Amino acid sequence: MYIDMYLIRAKRLLAYMGLFMILDYILTYIGIHILQCIIEANPFMRNFMELPFIVGLPLRIVYILFPINLLLLAYYYSDNKNSILKIIHGMLLFQFVPLFLHLFWIFQYIQLY
């Protein structure tokens, strides 16, 4: 039986990316609605972030599944699996920027009060 280790790695990285995107949504929501110390800088997401949490979280999960499934399809149909993994790594690193910014702002806000 053949085990595609690249596929396992790709799925794990995509799961991390989805988790980081969900955490980013939760931290952004807390920063905007509970602590009121963050503003949504992305004009495409401003209206989305005004939704109640119980409505916004499932929509965010559906929104997250689109790029994850596209990358998984690209992996399956690509001849160069390693380049798809590099793209996934890049997107994962790119996702760290807003996640850590929101964490930093929330921790700074908490230290002030």
Q: What is the mean pLDDT of each run of 10 residues along the chain (113 residues)?
A: 83 94 93 87 88 94 93 91 92 90 87 75
CA distance 92 to 11: 12
Distance CA 40, CA 33 (A): 11
Alpha-carbon span 73 to 82, nearest angstrom? 14
CA distance 37 to 71: 34
The predicted pLDDT at position 17 comes to 93
Cα distances (Å, whole numbers) of residue 8 to 27, 35, 58, 101: 28, 39, 26, 30
Residues 6+ apart with CB under 8 A from 35: 106, 109, 110
- Confidence at residue 2, expressed as pLDDT on a 0 to 100 scale: 74
DSSP H helical ranges for the chain: 5-29, 46-49, 53-77, 81-112
Q: How many domains does the chain have?
A: 1
Q: What's the CA gap between 60 and 21, in Å, rounded?
A: 8
Quote the domain boundaries for residue 102.
5-112
